[in-house]
């Protein structure tokens, strides 16, 4: 596997890992383990950054005049990254809510 397929699978794998970390962070917050939740959010952010690197490569390549041919795999990779980013925002909100509930 090489080229665009490899880049897409890097994005998909990183996004999936990030989403898993964010879900684990929510579970930890629900149990009152806010330090564990924070650590999982950090690890999720690191995974997201690993997915942004190959994504940035595709954007830079296109900006330099070499467009990327759309494919179902690329669309799936973009969708997975977007879903993980949205899930991060949701996780942050849920963790804040669990903290507020615990403080009452």
The 10s digit of each residue's pLDDT in 1-49 is 578 999 999 999 999 999 999 999 999 999 999 999 999 999 999 999 9
**Tokens 């090489």 correspond to what residue?**
2
What is the tens place of the pLDDT at every residue in 59-83? Answer: 999 999 999 989 999 999 999 999 9
Closest CA to 49 of 3, 8, 18, 24: 18
Which residues form the domain of 53? 3-102
The reply to whether 96 sits in an annotated binding site is no
Number of domains in the chain: 1
Other Cβ atoms within 10 Å of 39 Cβ, number: 15
* Residue 52 is a catalytic residue: no
Write down the pTM of the prediction: 0.91
DSSP class of 71: -
CATH number of 90's domain: 1.20.58.80
Kindly name the residue from 30, 52, 61, 76 that is annotated as catalytic.
76
């Amino acid at each position: 596997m090489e080229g665009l397929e490899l880049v897409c699978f890097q994005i998909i794998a990183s996004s999936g890992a990030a989403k898993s970390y964010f879900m684990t962070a929510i579970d930890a917050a629900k149990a009152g383990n806010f330090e564990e939740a924070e650590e999982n959010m950090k690890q999720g952010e690191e995974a997201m950054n690993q997915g942004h690197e190959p994504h940035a490569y595709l954007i830079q390549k296109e900006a330099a005049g070499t467009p990327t041919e759309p494919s179902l795999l690329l669309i799936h990779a973009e969708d997975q990254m977007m879903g993980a980013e949205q899930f991060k925002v949701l996780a942050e909100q849920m963790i804040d809510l669990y903290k507020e509930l615990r403080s009452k």
